[in-house]
Structure 1
């Protein structure tokens, strides 16, 4: 019994030293937290560890400023405040310590009530409810429990916070690329509808035949659109704030698509009518067909980046070499079907001369000057005016 007596045990001892054990955050976490903050993403520590430990880690990684030490909340603090009070303070508090699974769930619910999109990471069984409740539940692939992995939407294979930030950047890049080829395909195809419709009303021959429209859609549209889909993420992508989750993927494109379609329509219809009246329908149709192709190839250059004019610098112009190759390839294929005899029969084309090519390039220049940024800004201003009205 004396063995367990504190007074008997703690005597005749000599102090040799004190050992401290630290579990430091990974080296890349601090930079990842800053990168997330620049992107408008707020990182919050919610842990069962001691308050001082949680604050020390948060300060070291840049989640909490040193001057804010002591402004964290514990599970006991959460017990003493109502949901309404939590909703008020949660925008200022970045560290929650000594919390239970119920507290974690309250924190997630409070953030969602404030209109935030919440991603929650967790590894233990006690994290499963809050991981499930969040908009994006993320479990640990190495240390995570089976229950949490089942409750999550994503599994973090390397248990590294920096990987989440990298995934966000990749996701933003993919989303932007989808918008790029949607902008190109919609801008480049509505003019064909207008062209056929107008020619029918004016009792003119069809400016574009079905096989030519198919060629435009499969070859001329397809290759540049695929190249835009493989574009690298733009610089400064993680300097932008998160987009409004209520925005559609077409947000800000409407005016640009409308203007591009009208210009492309006029660029094809005008020369078609002129050559039809002063030459042959075969030449007129070949000219209109080629203008539609070249206009779209030129347009793809400006669809690459809505914020940078394609010809603002050589670097911007040559960033996506796959796009340049696809434009060159599309142009060469167009030459082949115009000047190869058996393909002329297949696509109803006619070998045209320098005069026709001069008209084609002149009328296709609209694709080079149609820059999305001004139209997007103007459309956003119009939307705001309508909302105020």
Structure 2
């Protein structure tokens, strides 16, 4: 019977990989005779397991997990329940599956379509990537603001930003720009890369280093412009810090859309919500400094065209720095 199963799988193209003259298949009888170590070695090569019992299914799942694999198990019967529970992600059939298998699983396929699993994995990876991007963006921006507030007094300057101005910047960046970043589409290699370890942190794979240097760059830009204008006796010094930080984080948000691909390869219009939020942030920031009653409320003064151009350059500098780093990493 097992031989007939092998032959049928070969005819269907399931067993396309061969080691010598043997199809890469194991039966329950063969699994029964294997030690845990032997099974761990076998699961790396075998692509079909035939005539297996519930106990064998659990052993297969455990062998894969022992090799550091993230294991997903699909099933619809009562005999699948133990393996569904043991797997990292158990997936039960919603139409044909038993109540026991649904209770034991993490996910239930309402349409019993395996293609839905692929779509769910893609969506999950995209959401996870977007969360990591937003956290890095938010923390880096806040590092920049903290550096401005901490270091400016040591340079002989008064308080560089008022509490209301800080609150406004956080509302624009973490609120509006964060909303746009949250709907970013999947990266091109989203479904071609192996799964990340569940134990890794948000700042793993170089994300922590990037967050620190981007935050330091934003802080240096704000401090530098503020010191330049303050020691030159310009009344706009605080407004320059306030506005340059807003423009810098717009540039940061646009450049942070992808961990690998350039913004210009992605295209500005490929995330219309983020593009719209960026335009809204810039518009609101300009309204704060150019509408007299609002400017008085925020304790800022209007900027000249040249001063505003310097703030735009601050945003472009942050964008260019992140793009250059991505190019070197590629």
Residue 240 of structure 2: aligned partner: 287
Q: What is the CA-CA distance between 1:320 and the residue it aligns to? A: 1.0
- Relative to structure 1, the CA distance from residue 58 to residue 134 in structure 2 (aligned partners, 3 Å threshold; closer, same or farther) is farther
In 2: Cα distance, 1:96 partner to 1:352 partner = 71
Q: Is the 8 A contact 1:74 1:97 kept in 2?
A: yes
Q: What is the CA-CA distance between 1:148 and the residue it aligns to? A: 1.0
In angstroms, what is the RMSD of aligned CA positions?
A: 2.4
In 2: Cα distance, 1:53 partner to 1:316 partner = 51
In 2: Cα distance, 1:66 partner to 1:273 partner = 67
Aligned pair partner of 1:360 in 301, 304, 311: 311
Residue 50 of structure 2: aligned partner: 97
Aligned pair partner of 1:222 in 137, 154, 175: 175
Residue 108 of structure 2: aligned partner: 155
- Relative to structure 1, the CA distance from residue 97 to residue 323 in structure 2 (aligned partners, 3 Å threshold; closer, same or farther) is same
In 2: Cα distance, 1:136 partner to 1:372 partner = 36
Deviates more, 1:249-258 or 1:166-175: 249-258
Residue 39 of structure 1: aligned partner: none
Q: What is the CA-CA distance between 1:288 and the residue it aligns to? A: 0.8
In 2: Cα distance, 1:299 partner to 1:156 partner = 39
In 2: Cα distance, 1:376 partner to 1:134 partner = 38
- Relative to structure 1, the CA distance from residue 376 to residue 190 in structure 2 (aligned partners, 3 Å threshold; closer, same or farther) is farther
Residue 302 of structure 2: aligned partner: 351
Structure 1: give runs of 5+ residues left out of the alignment: 1-48, 379-389
Q: Is the 8 A contact 1:294 1:361 kept in 2?
A: yes
Residue 43 of structure 1: aligned partner: none
Residue 133 of structure 1: aligned partner: 86
Q: What is the CA-CA distance between 1:289 and the residue it aligns to? A: 0.3
Q: What is the CA-CA distance between 1:280 and the residue it aligns to? A: 4.2
Aligned counterparts, 1:16-95, within 5 A: 52-53=4-5, 56-57=8-9, 60=12, 63-65=14-16, 67=18, 70-95=23-48
1:212-235 Cα offsets, whole Å, 9 max, x none, are 111111123321211111011122
- Relative to structure 1, the CA distance from residue 54 to residue 326 in structure 2 (aligned partners, 3 Å threshold; closer, same or farther) is farther
Q: Do residues 211 (structure 1) and 164 (structure 2) align?
A: yes
Q: What is the CA-CA distance between 1:182 and the residue it aligns to? A: 1.4
Aligned pair partner of 2:219 in 239, 248, 265: 265
Residue 228 of structure 2: aligned partner: 274
Q: What is the CA-CA distance between 1:66 and the residue it aligns to? A: 5.9
In 1: Cα distance, 2:267 partner to 2:327 partner = 20
Q: Do residues 191 (structure 1) and 144 (structure 2) align?
A: yes
Secondary structure in 2 matching 1:370: helix
Q: What is the CA-CA distance between 1:210 and the residue it aligns to? A: 0.7
Residues paired across the two proteins, number: 327
Aligned counterparts, 1:106-125, within 5 A: 106-125=59-78
Q: What is the CA-CA distance between 1:55 and the residue it aligns to? A: 6.2
Q: Do residues 254 (structure 1) and 241 (structure 2) align?
A: no
1:138-158 Cα offsets, whole Å, 9 max, x none, are 111111111111111111111
In 2: Cα distance, 1:51 partner to 1:211 partner = 76
| Larger-gyration structure (1/2) | 1
1:165-196 Cα offsets, whole Å, 9 max, x none, are 11111111111111111121112110110101
In 2: Cα distance, 1:221 partner to 1:55 partner = 59
Deviates more, 1:271-280 or 1:134-143: 271-280
1:279-305 Cα offsets, whole Å, 9 max, x none, are 344x11111100000010011111001
Deviates more, 1:359-368 or 1:170-179: 359-368
Q: Do residues 169 (structure 1) and 102 (structure 2) align?
A: no
Residue 241 of structure 1: aligned partner: 194
Q: Is the 8 A contact 1:124 1:144 kept in 2?
A: yes
When normalised by structure 2's length, the TM-score is: 0.91
Q: Is the 8 A contact 1:256 1:376 kept in 2?
A: no
When normalised by structure 1's length, the TM-score is: 0.78
